[in-house]
Amino acid sequence: MRMKRDNSKWTDDKEARKESKQAKHDTQSAVHEPKDLSVLQRSLEAVEKRLENVATNMERTHIADYVDMLNKPLKLIWRNLLAGTARGIGIAIGFTFFAATILYVLRILGALNLPIIGDYIADIVKIVQIQLEGKQY
């Protein structure tokens, strides 16, 4: 028989098991007391409030729309095609403005006649202008 130390007393394992069973039985019987029913009711109300918050958040994020879209693949494909086209056009327009700004700055720097940088920039501007006009250099 094994012995174990419990609060500076030596007790049997059997006695410890009996005590734990008794404590478990006491807590199970306490659940059915009326004062614990009010605690259960409050916890159920808290769970209900939390569930309502989750439902409200799901409505805010339009999860039903996403599920509907996943259930209709043609609608999903059409939206992705439209979004990709819009992205591509946006990139093209953005790059055009960016390149035009760079060329404008290079022209201004070329007009300053800086010895080394000016010649290099002038060559780049000439090459770009020839390409824009469609002529071969």
* Residues 73-96, mean pLDDT to the nearest whole number: 95
Distance CA 55, CA 63 (A): 10
pLDDT attached to residue 100? 93
Average pLDDT over residues 16-43: 68
- DSSP, collapsed to helix, strand or coil, labels residue 63 as helix
Highest mean pLDDT among 7-16, 83-92, 101-110: 83-92
Report the distance separating Cα 25 and Cα 15, nearest Å: 15
Show the tokens assigned to 51: 């569930």
| pLDDT (tens digit per residue) in 91-135 | 999 999 999 999 898 888 777 766 777 777 778 888 888 888 876
Ranges of each domain in the chain: 36-134
What is d(CA 64, CA 87) in angstroms, rounded to the nearest whole number?
Answer: 26
| 61 φ, ψ (degrees, to nearest 5) | -90, 0
